[in-house]
């Protein structure tokens, strides 16, 4: 069975990662969404193993000690991270899995899983990005300015990614990512071992 692909989608806050990922999953129903682990308490309606893997702080710290996470971070007193086992089991089953994550986390994943496909979602312009962040209506001017400053820094890290996709139109961006996935499945590297096995079988016949 051909191993699946780990697709890592990231980009600055406000670029539309969640929206593009949601459309992509709708277009490609066999694409598995990476479920994160967290120490925060479940909210009403959330299901363990579906929305998150809910862990105690002790369990999460044990996962850190065992290197059982591809990346993790602490936010507002709670841990969040990507369980290595869930990702690897999904890939071994032949299914593709997508991880939607912030830039810092994506670079942590790249250190531990360099064979992943890393896609940077780019805003059409910085003005458009600022409008999207402002449009949320949840942050004051100082917070918005800080987010924009961080976004500029994060965009300079695009050199560590394999692909860049401009999110000008959500459907178009999702289609571009689908095209990347198809192309990655056609890379010769994924067939070399299988072809060598065929050759060895042919020589023995």
Residue 37 has a pLDDT of 95
pLDDT at residue 97 tops 80:
yes
Per DSSP bridges, beta strands 97-101 and 32-33 are parallel
Residue-wise pLDDT for 156-193, tens only, equals 999 999 999 999 999 999 999 999 999 999 988 878 87
CA distances from 115 to 31, 42, 163, 171 (A): 18, 33, 13, 27
Least confident of 100-104, 175-179, 201-205: 201-205
b (16+ CB within 10 A) / e for 101-117: bbbebbbbbbeebeebb
Q: Do the beta carbons of residue 156 and residue 150 sit within 8 Å? A: no
Is residue 155 a contact partner of residue 103, using CB atoms and an 8 Å limit? no
pLDDT of residue 176: 97
Q: How confident is the model at residue 150 (pLDDT cuts 50, 70, 90)?
A: confident
Whether the predicted pLDDT of 107 surpasses 90: yes
Contacts of 117 (CB under 8 A, 6+ apart): 5, 6, 7, 8, 162, 163, 180, 181, 184
Give the burial string for 56-94 (b: 16+ CB within 10 Å, else e).
eeeebeebeeeebbbbbeeeeeebbbbbbebbbebbeee
φ/ψ (deg, to 5) at 193: -60, -40
Can you list the domains of the chain with their CATH numbers? 1-31+96-205 (3.40.50.300), 35-94 (3.30.63.10)
pLDDT higher than 80, residue 205: no
Q: How far apart are CA 113 and CA 71, in angstroms?
A: 10
Burial environment of residue 170 by CB neighbours within 10 A (0 to 12, 13 to 18, 19 or more): middle
pLDDT in tens, 30-61: 999 999 999 999 989 999 998 899 999 999 99
CB 180 within 8 A of CB 9: no
């Amino acid at each position: 069975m051909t191993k699946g692909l780990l697709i890592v989608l990231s980009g600055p806050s406000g670029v539309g990662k969640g929206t593009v990922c949601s459309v992509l999953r709708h277009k490609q129903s066999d694409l598995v969404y990476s479920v994160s682990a967290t120490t925060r308490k479940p909210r009403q309606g959330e299901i363990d193993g579906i929305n998150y893997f809910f862990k105690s702080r002790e369990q999460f710290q044990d996962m850190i000690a065992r290197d059982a996470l591809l990346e993790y971070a602490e936010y507002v007193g709670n841990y969040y991270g990507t369980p290595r086992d869930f990702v690897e089991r999904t890939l071994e089953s032949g299914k593709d899995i997508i991880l939607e994550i912030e830039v810092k986390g994506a670079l942590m994943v790249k250190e531990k899983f360099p064979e992943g496909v890393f896609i940077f979602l780019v805003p059409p312009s910085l003005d458009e990005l600022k409008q999207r962040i402002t449009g949320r209506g949840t942050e004051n001017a100082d917070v918005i300015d800080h987010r924009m400053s961080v976004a500029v820094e994060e965009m300079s890290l695009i050199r560590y990614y394999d692909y860049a996709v401009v999110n000008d139109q959500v459907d178009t961006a999702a289609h571009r990512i689908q095209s990347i996935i198809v192309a990655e499945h056609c890379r010769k590297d994924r067939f070399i071992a299988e072809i060598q096995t065929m050759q060895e079988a042919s020589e023995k016949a």
